[in-house]
Homo-oligomer: A and B are copies of this chain.
Amino acid sequence: MTEKPQKPNRTRRKDEIIASAAQCFMEQGYHATTIDDVARRLGSTKGRVYHYYASKTDLFFDVHRVGMGFLFDALDEVVVGSGDGATVLRRMLMAHANAMLEHHTFENVVAQGVQVHRFGTLNGDQRATLQNLIASRDRFEAAFKRQIQTGIDDGSLRAVDVSVTAKVLLGGLQWSIFWYRPQPNDSVATRDVLARKMVDPLMQGLLPVA
């Protein structure tokens, strides 16, 4: 009764395809990417891709799902126990900034999911999957809105507009998909330095202490 090795192998193959697709989608955009591009990067042909994915749309959805998973994982590791609302919010923003940099490729594709409305005709499962992806993006933003409200309530944050502020803060970090280019020699530490430079003006503001 040993575990069948089929499932893990299949999963590993799918992960390879997802990684290749993420890279292609980031570089060229979803619509400009062909299945041949994804296969060529794997050193194979599209026969393999279509063996694991029924359609280009399903492949995109899986890349998006993995990308959102990275963001939620980063949030889950934030210690919420100690500190006031502002302190926890800073930890969340730092975790998010680092995740955006580390998973630059996937998060670029996640952003495309917000814009790309044309996936061709979707079947029932695909429509449900799309709804799930949209819902997950909303849940992610909601976590930050709740935390901002918590900080306002406990007096550790100014009384800003919670919804707009959440969008502006996240947008400031997420815009890195447009300008950040991962370097071969950058480490967790170098990314963290950059993340701090990104989060600092958002938390502290630009004005000096009077």
Contact = CB atoms under 8 A, between A and B. Distances in A.
Interface of A: 27-32, 86, 89, 108, 111-112, 114-118, 148, 151, 155-158, 160-161, 164-165, 167-176, 178-179, 194, 197-198, 200-210
A29 B33 CA distance: 14
A171 B165 CA distance: 13
Contact of A210 (B170, B175, B206, B209): B209
Most B CB within 10 A of own CB, among A31, A168, A202, A210: A168
Contacts of A200: 160-161
Label chain A's interface by main secondary structure: helix
Contact of A205 (B118, B167, B178, B207): B207
A165 B205 CA distance: 10
* Count of chain copies: 2
Contacts of A165: 197, 201, 206
Contact of A164 (B118, B171, B198): B198
Contacts of A86: 206-207
A150 to B, nearest CB: 12
Given A29-B115, A108-B115, A171-B173, 7 more contacts: A29-B118, A31-B32, A86-B206, A158-B204, A168-B175, A172-B175, A205-B207
